[in-house]
Chain A
Amino acid sequence: MKKILAFSLVLILGGGLGYMIYHIVRVKKQTDIANQNKQHLPDFSFFDLNDVKKGSEVVKPGAPVVIIYFNNDCEYCQREAKQLNANMHMLNGTQILMVSFNTVNDIKQYAKANQLDQYKQVTFLRDKELKFTHWFGNCSIPSVFVYNAQHQLVKEFYGEVKIEAIKALI
């Protein structure tokens, strides 16, 4: 009886192990592709706040781009937005794309509460289809991707980041 139990345990563990290894290999492959693709601003596709599909045509050519992936409920994202509002003058000439998987109302509330809706250089986009990681790889919330004027990735930050650190890169 004990041996049957031990064999069953070994089989269950073997199955679990096989699944985990398969998952690691699969995700690693996807992440490697995304990591390679995001080196130049990818041809993404999100939705604007009127639910119209928007691609990388929203990006102005020849200007640095900062992409911030956020969630309205995240405290760090709120702090990031406050810092951004207080230091927007540092990012003059830089286009800022704020992308979130939140509802349109939540995104509007976030923009209004942090007074980010007053800036022409800030564009809010909705990741309705949850495809952000497909283009930008695994990320935390908030994540900040800094692209230079040639739209080459200069640096990515995971977690909150001060605006001076972004400014220093562009």
Chain B
Amino acid sequence: MINEIKNYSTVKMFGIYCLYIIAFMYLQHLFLINDQLYYASLSNQLSYDSIDKMLAFQKKWQWLSYCAIPLLYFFKFLLISCCLLCGSIFFDAKLKFSDAFKISILSDIVFVIPVILKVVWFAFLHKQYTLEDIQHFSPLSVVNFFDPKSVSALWYYPLQSINVFEVLYIFVLGFWIYKFENKNYEKGLRLAVSTYLPGLFIWIVLVMFLTININPKI
């Protein structure tokens, strides 16, 4: 099976994964986010006329958010692949770029779980929700130990990023490195921890850097 995955086209794998993500995003919009939700959540601050205009604008350009998915995910996988390749030099592993790219795609499937949880949670279990509830939904995350309204926008993303799925992701990353490299799992996991964690740390600092420059609510 691993040979089939190794020989499978990276471009095809990336394309299929992007289609899945777009489908999940579409489902999320279809089931969870509707016009009534916007009116209920924003009418405290905005007039109905302004909400109408905002919704019209959003509907007009929604296709763009779907088109941006492949681009965003390409950069995500590219950055993770670079981290893995850098680490492979220090760890004397012979990882090829296409392998590293495939490993990052295969491991990313872990992050589909919280998206499914979100849809199930709001569509079937917690039907009375606001836009803020959807934005703040972070299952099995450290941020849940705090009141979302009291957490500064600067610290929200770092706290949200410390979650069970990130930990699981590192284990899965280690597993796929082990499978692609034919070395033991411990070595794969060590490579994953020592490359992905610093990468994630830099990413979180970058997001904080952008937040402090853009977001007024800090």
Contact = CB atoms under 8 A, between A and B. Distances in A.
B47 A162 contact: yes
B45 A162 contact: yes
B23 interface: no
Interface stretch (B108-116, B175-183, B203-211): B203-211
B45 A161 contact: yes
Contacts of A162: 45-47, 50
Nearest to B210: A20
Interface residues on B, range: 20 to 34
Interface in B46-69: 46-47, 50, 53
B216 A158 contact: yes
Contact of A24 (B46, B53, B212, B217): B212
Consensus secondary structure, chain A interface? helix
Interface residues on A, range: 20 to 34
Interface in A23-80: 23-24, 27-28, 31, 79
Given A159-B45, A165-B44, A24 B89 contact: no
A9 B202 CA distance: 13
Nearest to A32: B218
Contacts of B46: 160-162
B90 interface: yes
Interface string B77-94: 000000000100110000
Contacts of A154: none
7 contacts: A6-B86, A31-B212, A31-B218, A138-B215, A162-B47, A164-B47, A165-B45
